[in-house]
Amino acid sequence: MGQHKTRHIKLERTVNFPTGVELLHNPLLNQGTGFTKGERELLKLRGLLPPSVLTQEQQVSRLMENFRQKPNDLEKYILMISLESRNESLFYRLVMENLEEMMPIIYTPTVGLACQKYGHIFREPRGLFISAEDKGEIASLLENWPHTDVRVIVVTDGERILGLGDLGANGMGIPVGKLSLYTACAGINPSQTLPITLDVGTNNETLRNDPLYIGLKQPRLRGAAYDELIEEFVMAVVERFPHALIQFEDFGNVNAFRLLAEYRDRICTFNDDIQGTASVTLAGLLSALRITGGQLQDQRLLFLGAGEAGIGIADLIVAAMMENGVDEAEARQRCWFVDSRGLVESGRTDLAVHKLGYAHEHEPVADFLAAVEALRPNAIIGVSGQPQTFTQEVVEAMSRFNEHPIIFALSNPTSKSECTAEQAYTWSGGRAIFASGSPFAPVAYQEQTLVPGQGNNSYIFPGVGLGVVATEARHVTDEMFLAAAKTLAGLVSEDDLVQGRVYPPLTSIRQVSHAIAIAVAEVVFARGLTAKSRPENLPAYIESQMYQPDYPIYV
């Protein structure tokens, strides 16, 4: 977005402004060697820094040199998380200027490996760890957080980290990474973000037997005790941070749907695995249909995986079809699921409640390939966490039914993807429209270069969050995610589509988030979800709320 004027901070107007070593240990204020000679005198930094003064641009250059010399992605992650812990302005400048290179490191897929090894690479705590042992005292824990104007909280209980399963307290890497993207992609001020892990134990015996595991070494809390802890947490947050958006992240299926149902109309909250994934996937489908020439309501969609992501996607697709005038029952009939026991159909007696709305009449089908052959879908959407399940036979079958088969292999991280971009393109004769959850490189096929889309939630949740924060919305609704999906799809250019790309380049993510925030804000004002008045120039107002990682000048 546009350049902001450099901030000038007058110290005589600032009460108890940190100086000296205290300042250098404050990541929100520290500039390292970027402090000018005058600032070093003013802020009692002389002798605490080497004499050379480097601009932020020079610091970025030095860090990129170090970053690219690291031997593997985990070492790059450690470098970046350490930078974030000592100089946040420089961290965000580095990320924003090198987003395509940085995002796979600070988030998926590398963050998955970082979570698996979190106790072994632990350097410095970030965010708040609230454990089951803190029951009755959560409010006092929140008081320990130094910033009072928190606007976005990402919270996990670590039960379903990406496609990696139960990682317990090690899951803190996810809230930390998500909130980094809120700032880098949408300009949420980092001082207004708070990552939280609810440590309710883990059923991962490997972690419980690891002497370096950072969490409670006990089985997961379940039942009424779990619900009481969540309720105490939510109410404590509302009291301490009344304008905060709470994003539930990577909770297990057993809790995710019911927690969303419990709190969505009580507080300002959403579940990114259910609603954010749905929005980015719907956007990809809308873009894909510009290539195939089809209409959404005429598509038959087959999902592999019937958990949070799959059901969330289908629910939003149904809402989009209904907006186009289709009856709800007919829209649901367009969405089919295969889970670990075969086709989700009405004759089964083992279905969880969240699957019942998509249990249609059909004879039993045991496996995914057989379901593809029986249903002849226009699109297959993988949200199973089961790698290599979109086999050559599956892709070839899809290619017999469709001139341009839509193949979305969305499971994260890369190791869990249902197929690779190269496989999808090769097995379909270069005709597949492909998107994945984690990034894949462009694929040279015959005489063309095909660019796979990355259906990453970072296209959606930062912009939605910005719209909610800027308007101080009381609730987050599905209508906002529908508006976000249509906005994102509308930003895909014809040049993108020619390359096979169903999302805009990540380099435009700030513009994408700005546009989505405007669309979300329009919903907020239209539905009366805020006490604030609509600004006369809404785009300019939204832009004015977006953080820029420039160093201020102290005078």
Q: Does residue 317 sit in helix, strand or coil?
A: helix
Residue 296 shares a structural domain with residue 416 = yes
The 10s digit of each residue's pLDDT in 39-72 is 999 999 999 999 999 999 999 999 999 999 999 9
Residue 39 shares a structural domain with residue 163 = no
Identify which of 103, 92, 100 has the alpha carbon closest to the alpha carbon of residue 184: 92
Asked if 265 and 173 touch (Cβ cutoff 8 Å), the reply is no
The CATH number of the domain holding residue 362 is 3.40.50.720
| Single residue among 458, 489, 509 that ends a domain in this structure | 458
| Single residue among 458, 484, 517 that ends a domain in this structure | 458
Q: Dihedral, CA atoms, 121, 126, 132, 138, nearest 10 degrees?
A: 170
Q: Catalytic residue among 76, 77, 92, 107, which?
A: 107
The CATH number of the domain holding residue 31 is 1.20.1370.30
Domain for residue 169, yes or no?
Answer: yes
Domain for residue 545, yes or no?
Answer: no
Q: What is the number of domains present in the chain?
A: 3
Residue 239 shares a structural domain with residue 290 = no
Residues 468, 529: Cα–Cα separation, whole Å: 10
Q: Where are the beta strands (DSSP E) in 310-359?
A: 335-339, 342-343
Label residue 2 exposed, middle or buried (CB < 10 Å: 0-12, 13-18, 19+).
exposed
Residue 234 shares a structural domain with residue 343 = no
Cα 110 to chain centroid, rounded: 14
The 10s digit of each residue's pLDDT in 67-125 is 999 999 999 999 999 999 999 999 999 999 999 999 999 998 999 999 999 999 999 99
| Residue position matching structure tokens 């300019």 | 540
Q: Does residue 230 sit in helix, strand or coil?
A: helix
Q: What are the C-alpha distances in Å from 246 to residues 79, 98, 184, 194, 229?
A: 28, 28, 19, 10, 15
Residues 450, 428: Cα–Cα separation, whole Å: 13
Residue 175 shares a structural domain with residue 313 = no
| Single residue among 238, 267, 296 that ends a domain in this structure | 267
Please tell me whether the overall predicted TM-score, pTM, comes out greater than 0.85 for this model. yes
Residue 121 shares a structural domain with residue 228 = yes
Q: Which amino acid is at 369?
A: L
107 is catalytic: yes
Domain range spanning residue 34? 8-54
Residue 43 shares a structural domain with residue 80 = no
Residue 417 shares a structural domain with residue 299 = yes
> For each of the chain's 555 residues, which pLDDT tens digit applies?
655 557 777 776 666 889 999 999 999 999 999 999 999 999 999 999 999 999 999 999 999 999 999 999 999 999 999 999 999 999 999 999 999 999 999 998 999 999 999 999 999 999 999 999 999 999 999 999 999 999 999 999 999 998 899 999 999 999 999 999 999 999 999 999 999 999 999 999 999 999 999 999 999 999 999 999 999 999 999 999 999 999 999 999 999 999 999 999 999 999 999 999 999 999 999 999 999 999 999 999 999 999 999 999 999 999 999 999 999 999 999 999 999 999 999 999 999 999 999 999 999 999 999 999 999 999 999 999 999 999 999 999 999 999 999 999 999 988 999 999 999 999 999 999 999 998 999 999 998 999 999 999 999 999 999 999 999 999 999 999 999 999 999 999 999 999 999 999 999 999 999 999 999 999 999 999 999 999 999 999 999 999 999 998 888
Residue 217 shares a structural domain with residue 107 = yes
Q: Catalytic residue among 178, 263, 355, 445, which?
A: 178
Q: Does residue 277 sit in helix, strand or coil?
A: helix
Domain for residue 495, yes or no?
Answer: no
Label residue 361 exposed, middle or buried (CB < 10 Å: 0-12, 13-18, 19+).
exposed
Identify which of 376, 402, 371 has the alpha carbon closest to the alpha carbon of residue 305: 371
Cβ neighbours of residue 375 closer than 8 Å, sequence gap 6 or more: 300, 302, 336
Residue 230 shares a structural domain with residue 212 = yes
Strands 433-436 and 379-382: unpaired
**What angle is formed at CA 398 by the lines to CA 338 and CA 333, rounded to 5 degrees?**
45
Residue 307 shares a structural domain with residue 170 = no
178 is catalytic: yes
Residue 66 shares a structural domain with residue 15 = no
Q: Please tell me the predicted confidence (pLDDT) of residue 555.
A: 80
Domain for residue 530, yes or no?
Answer: no
Q: What DSSP designation does 349 have?
A: S
Domain for residue 479, yes or no?
Answer: no
